[in-house]
A and B are shown apart, each in its own frame.
Chain A
Amino acid sequence: METPVTPPAMGFAEKLMSVKRHTLYLLLIVATSVPTFFSITLPNKPDQPSIDFFTTVMALPEGSTILIETDWTKSTRGDSMGQMQALLRILMRHNIKFAIYSTADPAAPQVARDTIGRVSEERRAKGERPYVRWEDWVDLGYFPNSEATNNAIATNIRKAFAGKTEVPGVGQPATDVFRSPVLSHIQKVGDMPLLLVVTASKTFDIIVERLYGKVPLAAMVTGVMGPESTVYYASGQMVGLCVGLKGALDIERMMESGVNNPPDKPVVVNKKNPEVVPGFPGDDNEGNGKAYYPTLHLALTLMILAVIIGNIGMVLTRKGAKS
């Protein structure tokens, strides 16, 4: 009877190259769970695109109306929800009205409505005025064809959203959104000081293609879409850009510290513009950005370590083979 051949024991280098998949998964679970149990504050220096985004939003005239294309769902809540929360907090603190619409995902309007509701509830809980639908914001709905919709907005915003209704108050019938305080003074998209897209997909491309030059554009995109959207920021077609989880944290930090503020010893410096932009120090500025940033740190650290370990193993194996 033939004796079974036992494979030779793996050397150190080979062990480094063959860490089991499940071990990696377990390490990832452990690493990303740590911030759930401990509150960790990490240093962060806001990027210039985030600074431009923040200063643009902070400079919006009080009482004005902006258009927000919201194209994200909870699949990207790690990035998008923190961005949207921070944005809504700024808009509501500055009494800026907004109209939302979606073109990427049929679930996106409901996710946006829920987020608006939560941020408004935060205000109610603090004794501040909650944001009221019809008076402060309206929902224009979901449009499955992004190209055609944004083209129509560029040509004639009133016709693009014709027939959309909201209920002004209890006991009142659904009424044309263009009779609401949010949109009644809007004749063309250029009457708005900003069109903002919060997206997890390539809809910012279409926004730039169809609406650049008609209205200033800014975007909040996921980390994955960051490189592609940077093209439009670099070309000047977007006045501000908030990318990924770090972008959300950037905005939260600037909400606390402001920009070029205090002028003698600023925490965040805007290299493009020396104007002082005060934030909201002491207010509830922290959100998902701060909560999830340590998780991103740990996940990236683990990935970098895994790649380094794999490569060390490969190099040692090659050296062993040569010798």
Chain B
Amino acid sequence: MNGFFAQVIPPSPFNAPNGSAELWTRLVIALLLGVAAVVALMKAPVSVRKPVVAVSTFCAGLYWVVFFLWPRPVNRLPGDMPSGLVDGVGFWLEDANPIVGNLSNVLSAFLLGLGIYSLLRIHGMRVIKGHKDAFFSAVLLLGILAMGVFGYWDWLDKMSPTGPSLALEANWAFQNRVRDFLFDGLLQEMDAGMFSLIAFYILSAAYRAFRIRSIEATLLLATAFIVMLSFMGLVTGLLDGVIDGIKGTADPGFLDNFKLTEIAKWLRATVETPSLRGIDFGIGIGALAMGLRLWLSLEKTAVSS
């Protein structure tokens, strides 16, 4: 069964040597077939589409459920053979896991492609129709194009036999410098700039909203202050130093419990961590319920509309 997948050695009908024309041809054919299948599914009436999607979803999910529940081979060594049906299925599930994992990665990568397609469609239409914000759309499209071209060019350079010499900046060519400027000089710096704006909103929101209007709010504020102060070495050094001065050389002393760092540690270990653990359990149960609904196609909105 695993022989049907591309990653298996020796080559199966679904793989070919890395970088070969044969591989590229097969990739293009597979892509076209995939697109045709998706288009056919989109055009099909709901009565046809629904069972196809439901069966596909169930089969895809079934592997992971069985993989999780089926007994796994213990201390398996290369060349080991299964001894019976249970062992055989366990071996198969384990062997198939990285292949199914790769398949999941490919599918997830298509989601990135879908995002790019969506951006191109929306902003392309804006440029064509002369929307009032067409300039910004054009900048975005140009950015995507430039990053794609120079990023790929740079990658090809680095994967070529002369690639290792590019570890030294002195050996960089035009395309490597442009890639560095676009990625490190622009994209990543703007990314950092955008994220740093949050600090302004947090400060403004904290000033306006963090008011001690109730006992709960007062408790929350006191806790937040202790935790924030515990991140400040200057403050913890001073306050803990006062406790050390009072208690003298007794080590460890009862008064140690009143050090800011100890109080913050207690808050984290006794209040925060159990609370988050409880939330995590809740999220886990919710995810399990939603997962079951999706797997069994009980979540109808996904396929019916």
Contacts and interface: CB of A to CB of B under 8 A. Distances in A.
Interface of A: 19, 21, 24-25, 28, 32, 42-45, 47-48, 73-78, 106-107, 110-111, 114, 117, 120, 130, 132-134, 143-145, 147-149, 151-152, 155-156, 159-160, 162-163, 165, 167-174, 187, 223, 227-228, 230-231, 234, 244, 246, 249, 293, 296-297, 299-304, 306-307, 309-311, 314-315
Give me the 7 closest cross-chain CB pairs, A-B, nearest first: A152-B101, A159-B98, A148-B104, A144-B108, A44-B233, A148-B101, A75-B195
B193 to A, nearest CB: 9
A303 B228 contact: yes
A28 B201 CA distance: 11
Contact of B98 (A28, A152, A302): A152
Interface in B229-243: 229, 231-234, 236-237, 240
Given A25-B203, A162-B98, A307-B225, 14 more contacts: A24-B200, A42-B233, A43-B237, A45-B233, A75-B192, A133-B164, A159-B7, A168-B164, A170-B164, A173-B161, A223-B231, A293-B233, A303-B228, A307-B210
B199 interface: yes
Interface in B86-140: 94-95, 97-105, 107-109, 111-112
Contact of A24 (B104, B108, B204, B272): B204
Nearest to B241: A43
B206 A110 contact: no
A304 B159 contact: no
B304 to A, nearest CB: 26
Given A45-B237, A170-B161, A297-B234, A117 B98 contact: no
A71 B78 CA distance: 32
Contacts of B183: 107, 110
29 contacts: A24-B200, A25-B200, A25-B203, A43-B234, A44-B233, A44-B237, A74-B189, A77-B192, A107-B183, A144-B111, A145-B105, A148-B104, A151-B101, A152-B97, A152-B101, A156-B97, A163-B7, A165-B159, A171-B162, A227-B276, A228-B280, A230-B276, A231-B276, A249-B233, A300-B228, A301-B232, A304-B229, A307-B225, A310-B211
Contact of B261 (A45, A77, A117, A170): A45
Contacts of B191: 73-75, 107
Interface string B132-152: 000000000000000000000
A77 B188 CA distance: 10
Interface residues of B, number: 70
Given A149-B101, A162-B98, A24 B203 contact: yes
Contact of A21 (B204, B213, B221, B265): B204
Interface string B211-233: 11100000001000100110111
B26 to A, nearest CB: 15
Contacts of B18: 163, 165
A24 B232 CA distance: 21
B276 A149 contact: no
Tell me whether chain B's interface is mostly helix, strand or loop, or mixed.
helix
A148 B102 CA distance: 7
B203 A28 contact: yes
B268 A314 contact: no
B234 A106 contact: no
Nearest to A44: B233
Among the interface residues B95, B104, B183, which one has the most CB atoms of the partner chain A within 10 A?
B104
A45 B161 contact: no
A111 B180 CA distance: 11
A106 B144 CA distance: 14
Nearest to B196: A78
Contacts of B203: 24-25, 28, 299, 302-303, 306
B280 A25 contact: no
B87 to A, nearest CB: 16
Contacts of B161: 167, 170-173
A309 B273 CA distance: 30
B112 A106 contact: yes
Contacts of B236: 45
Contacts of B299: none
B165 interface: yes
Nearest to B159: A174
B69 interface: no
Contacts of B228: 300, 303-304
Contact of A75 (B101, B108, B194, B211): B194
B82 interface: no
Given A133-B167, A159-B99, A300-B231, A143 B105 contact: yes
Interface in B2-21: 7, 18
A227 B104 contact: no
B184 interface: yes
B32 interface: no
B158 interface: yes
Contacts of B225: 304, 307
A206 to B, nearest CB: 12
